[in-house]
Structure 1
Amino acid sequence: MQAVDILDKLIGFPSVVGMPNADIVAWVRDYLQSHGIAAAVLPGPEGDRANLFATIGPKEVPGYILSGHMDVVPAAESGWTSDPFRLRADGGRLYGRGTSDMKGFLAAVLAAVPGLAEMRLRCPIHLAFSYDEEAGCRGVPHMITRLSELCENPLGAIIGEPSGLRAIRAHKGKAAARLTVRGQSGHSSRPDQGLNAIHAISDVLTRAVVEADQLTRGPFEDVFEPPYSSLQIGTVKGGQAVNVIPDTCEVEFEARAISGVDATNLLDPLRRTAEKLTERGFAVKWDELSAYPALSLPADAPLAALLEELTGIAPLPAVSYGTEAGLFQRAGIDAIICGPGDIGRAHKPDEYILVAELLACQAMIEALGARCSA
């Protein structure tokens, strides 16, 4: 199958984040099996979602991981001019949810499989396809913990997020959390008989604004825009009517951290402030929504040199968005981002990838195979 045909199949699976993904996993497994490649299906703790891992070449020596996620964000937004889960070709563009982010990369990898399978690879190429990346990289950690039983310690991991096929060495880490505060409802004319959850949570909101302002003063890492860690209040929900004491308020926070800073720690002052509300009779619940570390690959790393050789383009120092790459690096595996498409087309109506981008990525993967055969 050609890369476009494979992408057509992949887009047809509405593998929305947080939903079961057995259909797309089974299709990829069967496709690999048809080319003599055995794939391990690795169910996650949710029970209805799974990662997939496969090796092309010898398993007893270190090799390279090609990593991508099978899930996509929902496509319920208005503005689509065609079915988002049916690939539409228009000139050199291929439209559909996930074409750039990031089923295009998966299609290019799978299109390269027949050629890789015929090569005499001296070091293996591993395929690591994950689930629920769009929910904060929730699926891939379960696969990473099992790598020692699946393969020798890899030489590096290439994460195929859309980058215009230019390698990227760094991104910020991220943590997100939801705070729910519960008080006591009542008529607004008798505030003395209730516990106003919105009033209470304002202490935490104020602390978030203060912490966000302090982060702008450093530490700094100039490769990022902005060059400092950040924190924001993303959503606030609470209240029923202006004359009802709100008994519940829910807030979501997000922190993004430069290298060497733990994004989860940036949220700790907010959590501690929230916990003090229990002393005033409020119930407090703090839920971690997602967390992944920053990526920081040195400019002189062999993996960076390899990607420059494969693409003919010097790696970009950093980007603002996050990926699974930091999780591989935390596990002791050098990681870098490089994939087809453009992140600017992702998460919006009429997402697309160029046929030329798809084929260029397949060529890069085949060049990696040739490098592993030399």
Structure 2
Amino acid sequence: MDVLDILDRLVAFPSVAGKPNGDIAGWIEAHLAEQGVKVTLLPGPEGDRSNLFATIGPADVPGYVLSGHMDVVPAGEPQWSSSPFALRRDGERLYGRGTTDMKGFLAAALAAVPHVAGMRLARPIHLAFSYDEEVGCRGVPHLIARLPELCAKPLGVIVGEPSGMRAVRGHKGKAAARVTMRGRTGHSSRPDLGLNAIHAMAEVLSATVSEAERLTHGPFDAAFEPAYSSLQAGVIAGGQSVNIIPDTCTLDLEARAIPGVDPAGLLAPVNARAEACASEGFQIEWTPISAYPALSLPQDAALAALLHGLTGEEPLAAVSYGTEAGLYQAAGFDAIICGPGDIGRAHKPDEYILASELAACQRMIEALGAGCAV
């Protein structure tokens, strides 16, 4: 199968994050087994979805990991011009959910396998495909924890998120959480007898806005846009009717942190303000939603030099979006981003990738294999 055939099969799996992924993981496992590649499915604690790890070459010597995720965001938008889970070609453009983020990279890696497997590799190339990346990188930590039993410590991890096939050395870290405020309901004519959860949450929201403004004053890292860490309230919900005292309100928050700043720590002042409402009789729940650390690969790292040679372009210092690369680095592995497509096409109707981008990615992976050959 060529890269387009493989992408067609991958897109046809509606592997939305948070759902079982046995179909797509099973197909990839079978496809790789046909190529004589050793594959290990790694079930997650959820019981209905798995990570996948495969090795081409000797597993007991250091090599390189090609990392990607099998899940996609939902595709319920009515603006799609065709079925999001059926690959549609229009000239160079290949439309479908996940074509850019990031089944295009998976397809290129799988298409390169027969060529790479035919080489005598002195260093292995591993495929590490995760689940539930799109809901907070929930699957890959379980895969990373199993790496010591699956292979020698890798020399580097290439995370194939869409970067226009230009390597990227850094991204911000992220932490998200939900605050739930519980008060006491009643008729709106007697506010003295209730506890208005929305009013209390307004204080928490005010603290969020104040902290967001404070962060604009630094610290700074010029590699990023914006150059500072950020905090925002993304979703707020509460109440039933204008004449009912609302007894529940929820607020979803997100912090994005430059390297060297703990993203979860950016949420701490908001958490403290929420907890202060307990003294007024409210019950407060703080529920983490997702978290991953920043990525910061040094400019002189060997992995950066490798990708410079493979792509012909100097790696970019940083991008604004986040990836699993920060988790690999936090676990002690050098990691870098490089994959086909443009992040600006992701998470929207009529997502697409170019056939030429897939071909370029496949060539890069085959060149990586050649560099690992005897």
Name the TM-score, length of structure 2 as normaliser.
0.99
Q: Which runs of 5+ in 1 are unaligned?
A: none
**For 1:87-142, what per-residue CA distance to the aligned partner results, in whole angstroms no more than 9, with x for missing partners?**
01111111000000000000000000111111100000010000000001111011
**For 1:326-367, what per-residue CA distance to the aligned partner results, in whole angstroms no more than 9, with x for missing partners?**
000000100000000110100011100111110110000000
The total of aligned residue pairs comes to: 374
Structure 1 moving runs of 4+ over 6 Å: none
- Residue of structure 2 in register with 1:332 after alignment: 332
**For 1:150-208, what per-residue CA distance to the aligned partner results, in whole angstroms no more than 9, with x for missing partners?**
11110000000001100000000000000111111111110011110011111211111
Q: Secondary structure at the match of 2:254?
A: strand
Quick one: distance in 1 between partners of 2:78 and 2:228? 34
Quote the offset at 1:78 in angstroms: 1.8
Q: Which runs of 5+ in 2 are unaligned?
A: none
Quote the offset at 1:279 in angstroms: 1.8
Quick one: distance in 1 between partners of 2:341 and 2:227? 25
- Residue of structure 2 in register with 1:268 after alignment: 268
Q: Secondary structure at the match of 2:363?
A: helix
* Residue 371 of structure 1 pairs with residue 350 of structure 2: no
Quick one: distance in 2 between partners of 1:201 and 1:212? 16
Quote the offset at 1:270 in angstroms: 1.1
- Residue of structure 1 in register with 2:83 after alignment: 83
Quote the offset at 1:260 in angstroms: 0.5
Matches within 5 A, 1:19-98: 19-98=19-98
Quick one: distance in 1 between partners of 2:164 and 2:139? 25
- Residue of structure 2 in register with 1:106 after alignment: 106
Structure 1 vs Structure 2: percent identity of aligned residues? Answer: 68
- Residue of structure 2 in register with 1:240 after alignment: 240
**For 1:268-325, what per-residue CA distance to the aligned partner results, in whole angstroms no more than 9, with x for missing partners?**
1111211122222111111100000000001110000000100111111110000000
Quote the offset at 1:234 in angstroms: 0.6
* Residue 12 of structure 1 pairs with residue 15 of structure 2: no
Quick one: distance in 1 between partners of 2:337 and 2:322? 10
Quote the offset at 1:224 in angstroms: 0.3
Quick one: distance in 2 between partners of 1:319 and 1:354? 21
- Residue of structure 1 in register with 2:351 after alignment: 351
Quick one: distance in 2 between partners of 1:87 and 1:208? 42
Q: Secondary structure at the match of 1:145?
A: helix
- Residue of structure 2 in register with 1:118 after alignment: 118
Quick one: distance in 1 between partners of 2:314 and 2:19? 38
Letter in 2 for 1:115: H
Matches within 5 A, 1:185-334: 185-334=185-334
Quick one: distance in 1 between partners of 2:119 and 2:184? 68
Letter in 2 for 1:354: L
Letter in 2 for 1:345: R
Quick one: distance in 1 between partners of 2:371 and 2:345? 31
Quick one: distance in 1 between partners of 2:19 and 2:201? 32
Q: Secondary structure at the match of 2:175?
A: strand
Quick one: distance in 1 between partners of 2:214 and 2:273? 17
Letter in 1 for 2:60: E
Q: Secondary structure at the match of 1:176?
A: strand
**For 1:21-79, what per-residue CA distance to the aligned partner results, in whole angstroms no more than 9, with x for missing partners?**
00000000000100111211111111111100011000110000000000000000121
Quote the offset at 1:80 in angstroms: 0.5
Quick one: distance in 2 between partners of 1:42 and 1:284? 36
Name the TM-score, length of structure 1 as normaliser.
0.99
Q: Secondary structure at the match of 2:36?
A: coil
Letter in 2 for 1:152: A
Quick one: distance in 1 between partners of 2:249 and 2:195? 11
